Amino acid sequence: MLRGLGTVVALPFLESMVPAMTALAQTPARPPLRFGAVYVPNGCPIPYWMPKGEAGALALTPILQPLASFQRALTVIGQLSRAGGAGVTDHAVSSAGWLTGAVAKQTEAEDIQVGISIDQVLAKAIGQETPFPSLEYATEDFTGYIGGCVPGYSCTYMNTISWGGEAAPLPMEINPRVAFERLFGRAGTPEDRRQRLHEDRSILDSVVEEAGSLQQDAVIKALDHARLAEAPGGSAEMVPGQHHVRMNMFIAQARNGKFAIVKSLGVIDPKEAVLTA
């Protein structure tokens, strides 16, 4: 692991930039605050992340070029070190201490201890303005892999970077389908998801069967009168000849991970102009 870690923070429109009693601060027009953290466990070559030049006229490195349009609101911080300093070199303590600023207790048992992470401190302060106070994702789970975890330390320290308290690690979701359904679709057990996959395949199979071919034009023609009896807002159906969907629409508010319908708009017809050859 590298001793120093360059951290890039793209600052959103912060609440502190607006006086508390101004109109913008008191209305829904105020953008919600966002915080994101991406952990790279094997370290990074720091020079690639640090702009060069004098203050106020920094030249972004190639790896930072995608952020060029936000350069005026971009702050790059360097010369940082992990909790414990140079004396701590293993992966478990590094990942556990990245957002907590604390040194993990050395244990392979259940008496883990580190500290609340900054993302959860922020989630408690501003997370109620979004559908989910916080979201935690990862690419793999080291539990059960021989040699995957650091000897002397619980695998928990490497399986999450988010902590709700000193002994409260938050599980990281590693399944893309579960992550997607939590955000945009119905959640459920693995059996529920398998059933929905079966239903989706059945709909596609019926369309292909009617089309009699996998050719794009034939499938589109078969979909032209497709209809869903059940959808989040009620039934939905294709508008013949337009390739658009007529469906129930509503305005909803999201708070604390739940949606509440504020106003039902009824069935809405697509307004796009129909193009004819």
- Tell me if 215 is assigned to some domain: yes
User: Does residue 95 share a domain with residue 47?
Assistant: yes
Within 8 A by CB and 6+ apart from 163, the residues are: 96, 99, 100, 114, 115, 116, 117, 120, 169, 170
- The residues, ordered by sequence, that sit 6+ positions from 206 with a Cβ below 8 Å of its Cβ are none
Whether 142 and 196 map to the same domain: the answer is no
User: 55 to each of 51, 58, 75, how far by Cα in Å?
Assistant: 10, 6, 11
| pTM score | 0.58
HSE-up (13 A, CA, CB side) for residue 135: 17
Tell me: do 115 and 40 sit in the same domain: yes
Indicate the range of 107-116, 120-129, 259-268 predicted with least confidence.
259-268
Residue found by looking up tokens 């790059």 in the block: 76
| Range picked from 130-139, 196-205, 242-251 for highest mean pLDDT | 130-139
**In total, how many domains does the chain have?**
2
Residues 195 and 63 in one domain: no
The answer to whether 199 and 188 are in contact (CB under 8 A) is no
Buried b (16+ CB within 10 A) or exposed e, 92-127: bbbbbbbbbebbbbeeeeeebbbbbbbbbebbeeeb
Q: Is residue 180 part of a domain?
A: no
The verdict on 140 and 66 lying in the same domain is yes
For residues 69 and 136, state if they share a domain.
yes
Which of 174, 201, 233 is where one domain is finished?
174
In a domain, 274, yes or no: no
> How far is C-alpha 160 from the chain's CA centre?
15
The neighbour count for residue 146, using CB atoms within 10 Å, is 5
Q: What is the pLDDT of residue 1?
A: 31
- Do 152 and 259 lie in one domain? The reply is no
Whether 25 and 106 share a structural domain: yes
Assigned domain for 30 exists: yes
> For 11-44, what is each residue's pLDDT tens digit?
444 444 444 444 544 555 567 788 999 888 877 8
| Integer angstrom CA distances of residue 30 from 23, 131, 149 | 9, 16, 44
Q: Are residues 70 and 200 in the same domain?
A: no
Decide if 181 is inside a domain: no
Alpha helices in 43-155 (DSSP H): 91-97, 118-126
Note whether 37 and 140 are same-domain residues. Answer: yes
- In the structure encoding, which two tokens stand for residue 88, read together? 């701590």
User: Of 117, 146, 174, which closes a domain?
Assistant: 174
Note whether residue 1 is domain-resident. Answer: no
Q: What is the strand order of the sheet 236-239 is part of? A: 227-228, 236-239, 244-255, 258-268
Full residue range of the structural domain in which residue 146 is found: 7-174
Most confident of 108-117, 120-129, 139-148, 206-215: 108-117
182 domain-assigned: no
* Residue 206 located in a structural domain: yes
Q: Which of 115, 145, 174 is at the close of a domain?
A: 174
Same domain, 215 and 118: no
